[in-house]
Amino acid sequence: MKKLIIIEDDIAFSNTLARRLSKYGFECAIVNEECKVLLTCDEFMPDYVLLDMKLTTQSGLHFIEPIKARLPNCKLVLLTGFASIATAVEAVKLGADDYLTKPADTQVILQALTGQIPKGNTNTEEVIMSPERLEWEHIQQVLKNNAGNISHTARQLNMHRRTLQRKLQKKPAPR
Of 60, 116, 113, nearest to 88 by C-alpha is 60
Is residue 28 a contact partner of residue 2, using CB atoms and an 8 Å limit?
no
User: What average pLDDT does range 123-142 have in this prediction?
Assistant: 65
| Residues in CB range of 158: below 8 A, 6 or more apart | none
- The reported pLDDT for the residue numbered 9 is 87
- Which amino acid does the sequence have at 153? T
The rounded distance, in Å, linking the Cα atoms of 95 and 112 is 15
Give the confidence band of 5 by pLDDT, cuts at 50, 70, 90.
very high
Give the confidence band of 15 by pLDDT, cuts at 50, 70, 90.
very high
Residue with the larger pLDDT of the pair 96 and 116? 96
Orientation of helix 161-169 relative to helix 131-145, angle to 10° = 120
Tell me the pLDDT of the chain averaged across its residues. 84
User: What average pLDDT does range 31-50 have in this prediction?
Assistant: 91
Kindly list the structural domains of the chain, giving each domain's residue range(s) and its CATH number in brackets, ordered by start.
2-122 (3.40.50.2300), 129-169 (1.10.10.60)
Could you read off the pLDDT of 50-92 as tens digits, one per residue?
999 888 888 889 999 999 999 999 999 999 887 777 788 888 8
User: What average pLDDT does range 26-40 have in this prediction?
Assistant: 91
* Assessment of whether the complete model's pTM goes beyond 0.75: no
The rounded distance, in Å, linking the Cα atoms of 127 and 129 is 7
Could you read off the pLDDT of 146-155 as tens digits, one per residue?
888 999 989 9
For the beta sheet containing 26-31, the strands, ordered from the edge strand earlier in sequence to the opposite edge, are 26-31, 2-7, 48-52, 75-80, 98-101
- The reported pLDDT for the residue numbered 141 is 80
